[in-house]
Amino acid sequence: MLKLNFKFFLFVFLSCFSLKAQNEIDVVRYSMQTIGSTARSYGVAGAFGSIGADASCAGINPSGLARFRSSSLNLSASFYNAKNNASYIGQTFNDNKFNFNVPNLGLIVNLPAADYNNKKPAGFVNFVFGFNVNRLNNYNMRSLFSANNKESSITQDWAQRANGTNDIPINFSRYSLEHLAYQTWLLDKDTTSPTPAYNSAYGKNAAVNVNQQGNILTKGALSDYNASFAGNYKHILLFGISLGAKSVRYVQSNSFKEKDNKPLVVKDIDYVVLDQYQRTNGIGLNAKFGVNIAPNEFIRIGYAYHSPTIFNLTDSYSYTITSKFDYQARDQFGDLRQSSTATTDATVYKYKISVPGRQVFSLGLVNKNLGFLSLDLESVNYSQSYLYAKDYAFADENLNIKKSMNPSVLNLRLGGELIQNQFRIRAGYARYPSTYREGAVPYVKSLVNNIYTLGMGIKEKRYAFDIAFVNSGYANYFVPYTLSNGVSYAITNNVRANNLIISASFLID
């Protein structure tokens, strides 16, 4: 259980149960990228910035595509399972979410140059065109929670929202939670107040004893569609450029049920349910440029720049509140309360998010007969992100981004491959630190994603098959509601994800 009285935390981790709230959470979600693409790349934790000759290079350092010596067709399949350990007010529940996806689909076209067959070429060796789809992030997760709460009710939050309007119910926004709560008899007018004021149907100062339970289901992905061009000069200097689009597909469905635990002699609320749905779709254009230098056959040094991406996003969302009252429960005027359901119309909102660019510095030690060791260091300044829309400036949200987002994140990827005849054995480790500044939110260290990988493959003249296993862990936090005294309860999700990837590559020369 996390009982929070940390106001800035509430600005940053705005409730997952308050969907029309484009904020820092969206920036984190759509700017985070992890290792991906082919099983060969997964097997070495994505450390392919300086190695090359793999379709994953299109998303890391496109110059590495120039190391392909033949045209090929590449296809990968992923079996992803996220096990979540969710805690809420001292109670913990486990759940799993399985997902099948295609992390890479690509075509490599190799065009030999004049010195293609020369062992010591004097000019260009070859040029390569690549067309790839790479999955950059997986949003599939399910969280279940349940606990007793003797201090607060979500209906009190809705009453405080209504009080904040200082208005009569007919003027409440029909898309707001206070409007739905009033329509379902969960709010009472405070007849002792000279101005419009409201109380929970439990009563103004009534004791609260409720069971709160629910689930959070997310799914979707961040994917990269790109067309790349790369050239190989004397096997010493490689360069490449990739132009493409990143697509976002994110769906979040939440249900929060609050059941009254008090004896039935107290006639008020039996239970209340808040259901919410959000779907985000969008696309953003970006470019990647990379170079790779091989001063000798054993050392490879790479650098790549990824431009910022501006996403044009569309949110579709809706709320539903359902109320059920005890038999003969009455309001402050003596009228019988009516159990009912109210739903907002499906609403669409369009906005933009700019996520930061990144720089990738790579070093590889290569022996063509034994294998390689590779290191990638990826620099990202998350504080450069921002939101904007035609009808809203996002001034407060962008200020919070500057204050809370980490300006100097250094992602690390380290991996190696051992060659034994036609067989390949691989292992790797990657570390993705928190996107937040130290001290900006609680438990920043828990937000680090540590990734461990193993892989193996077989390479023949006309084809190659690879398999990789990836284990990663991360944490996130959701706040169902926040009362005016600043105290709220967080649902903490500690996720351990296992991913099995299988890839096949076929020469098409």
In a domain, 439, yes or no: no
Confirm whether 184 is domain-assigned: no
pLDDT at 2: 40
What is the average pLDDT across 492-504?
93
- Top-confidence residue, 345 or 58: 58
pLDDT category at 334 given cuts 50, 70, 90 is confident
In a domain, 437, yes or no: no
**Tens-digit pLDDT profile for residues 172-231:** 999 899 999 999 999 999 988 999 999 999 988 888 999 999 999 999 999 999 999 999
More confident position, 400 or 7: 400
CA distance 321 to 254: 12
At residue 63 the predicted structure's pLDDT band, cuts being 50, 70 and 90, is very high
Work out the pLDDT band at 17, boundaries 50, 70, 90.
Answer: very low
Task: Name the CA dihedral angle for 276, 135, 287, 426, rounded to a multiple of 10 degrees.
Answer: 140
Q: What is the structure's pLDDT at 207?
A: 85
**CATH number assigned to the domain comprising residue 138:** 2.40.160.60
- Report which secondary-structure segment, H or E, holds 90: none
pLDDT in tens, 263-299: 877 889 999 999 999 999 999 999 999 999 999 999 9
pLDDT tens digits, 414-426: 999 999 999 999 9
Of all residues in the chain, what percent carry a pLDDT higher than 70?
95
For residue 63, give its domain range. 2-153+208-426+444-507
Would you say residue 30 lies in a domain? yes
Q: In total, how many domains does the chain have?
A: 1
Beta-strand runs (E) in 433-487: 449-459, 463-478
Q: How high is the pLDDT of residue 11?
A: 32
Per-residue model confidence (pLDDT) at position 486:
75
Give the model confidence (pLDDT) of 301-323 as tens digits.
999 999 999 999 999 989 999 99
Tell whether 196 is covered by a domain: no
Q: Which range (94-98, 236-240, 361-365) has the least confidence?
A: 94-98
Please check whether residue 166 lies inside any domain of the structure.
no
Q: Is 50 part of a structural domain of the chain?
A: yes
Mean pLDDT of all residues in 36-48: 94
**Does the residue 187 lie in any domain?**
no
Look up the pTM and report it: 0.87
pLDDT at position 15 over 60: no
3-state SS string for 263-291: CCCCCCEEEEEEEEEEEEEEEEEEEEEEE
- At residue 252, does pLDDT exceed 80? yes
**Measured between alpha carbons, how far is 107 from 353 in angstroms, rounded to an integer?**
30
CB 176 within 8 A of CB 160: no
How confident is the prediction for the chain on average, in pLDDT?
90
